[in-house]
Amino acid sequence: MFGLRRRGTAPVTERLPRAIGRLIEGIAPRPERAVPAPRRHNPDAVVDCAVYAAGARRPGAIHYTEAARAARRRRGSFVWLGLHEPDRATMRSIAESFGLHELVVEQAVEPGHRPSLETIGDVTRLVMRTARYVEHEELTATSEVVDTGDVTVLIGPWFVISIRHGAAGALWQVRRELEKRQTVLRLGPWAVAYAIADRMVDEYLDVAGAVERDLERLEEETFSLQLSPEIAHFYQLKREMVEFKRAVLPLPEPLGRLLTLPGLPAGLRPYFVDVQGRLARAVDRVAGFDDLLNSILQARLTQVSMSQNNDMRMIASWAAIAAVPTVLAGVYGMNFTRMPWLDSDYGFTGIVAVMAVICGGLYWRFKKAGWL
């Protein structure tokens, strides 16, 4: 009897361990699920950050620290980090991620650099000035014609960092156009430097064309029949041209030295040569504008001087005509007893007639001479 059990039920020796196991499982705490770490966001100074491999951009937004780590691990890839007016804290953090020298950090934070090219370790620093034409209906004494800034490009073995100061020279369109040219983008970080230099030179030529139209309007105004009494806007444009010249004229020297760098890919040399040729054209146009502006300004000053001389001759003519009645009235006002026509009935009429004849003769003479 003791060996019998109900059909479909397990013996006690089998059910007891199962019950104890379920009891322990209910008491023991369940393991917590792993919470993913929050994704880090780039600072506000970071305009864009991307990793490029085989001429294509890897999808997704990425923090510059993760991008640097990914580019180091994957051979043939590089990072393009775009910055706009970063502060010191951001640049120090970027320097730690990309291994930049502290001098590069200090130079990148400060704006207003002159175009230059230098190499610090394995990082090449290329500085270019940005330029943008400011639209205006008419040129005045306070018109802003050319807005300038600067862009610093740090080219390393596996990264390129572009740091822009000022409103001019936005690089988002440069990035978009370069991403469509995979053949050029495969050449590495120097391809980004070429694309930025190419855009800067294009902007120089665009600004030069717009300034040329301003000079044509000034030339028409100078030689028109109705001259403007103002001349301050001529000097304002001259000041703006000085700022534009500081952006364009110093660039050919560092760009020429760039072509001799051993790290420059051979496939990019023809592209940089093309940029250098168009830059020479921009330099010639800017220098020509300066000479033309000086000529127009000199012509305008000559016109102002001639206008002042005409005014002085007119004033002198009327002063001479007015001196005739003044002298005669002064003589007859001296109260002498013996003076011509003093006791005559026609004395007053005769003196007035003499005044009219002399004044009319002077007016005819000055009018014929072009003084009136």
Catalogue all structural domains in the chain, each as residue range(s) with its CATH number.
46-305 (3.30.460.20), 309-369 (1.20.58)
Can you give the pLDDT at residue 27? 46
pTM, two decimals, is 0.74
pLDDT tens for residues 42-101? 778 899 999 999 889 998 888 999 999 999 888 889 999 999 999 999 999 999 999 988
pLDDT digit of tens for each residue in the chain (372 aa)? Answer: 344 444 444 454 555 455 455 544 454 444 444 444 445 667 788 999 999 998 899 988 889 999 999 998 888 899 999 999 999 999 999 999 999 888 888 888 888 889 999 998 889 999 999 999 998 888 887 888 899 999 999 999 999 999 999 988 889 999 999 999 999 999 999 999 999 999 999 999 999 999 988 888 888 877 776 666 577 788 888 888 888 999 999 999 999 999 999 889 999 999 999 999 999 999 999 888 878 888 888 887 787 777 778 888 888 889 988 988 888 888 877 777 777 777 777 778 888 888 899 999 888 988 888 887
> Residue 239 has what pLDDT?
87
Query: Mind spelling out the 3-state secondary structure of the chain?
Result: CCCCCCCCCCCHHHHHHHHHHHHHHHHCCCCCCCCCCCCCCCCCCEEEEEEEECCEECCCCCCHHHHHHHHHHCCCEEEEEEEECCCHHHHHHHHHHHCCCHHHHHHHHCCCCCCEEEEECCEEEEEEEEEEECCCCCCCCCCCCEEEEEEEEEECCCEEEEEEECCCCCCHHHHHHHHCCHHHHCCCHHHHHHHHHHHHHHHHHHHHHHHHHHHHHHHHHHCCCCCCCCCHHHHHHHHHHHHHHHHHCCCHHHHHHHCCCCCCCHHHHHHHHHHHHHHHHHHHHHHHHHHHHHHHHHHHHHHHHHHHHHHHHHHHHHHHHHHHHHHHHHHHCCCCCCCCCCCCCCHHHHHHHHHHHHHHHHHHHHHHHCCC
Q: pLDDT tens for residues 159-201? A: 999 999 998 888 999 999 999 999 999 999 999 999 999 999 9
Q: Specify the pLDDT at position 32.
A: 44
- Which pLDDT score, from 0 to 100, does residue 308 have? 77
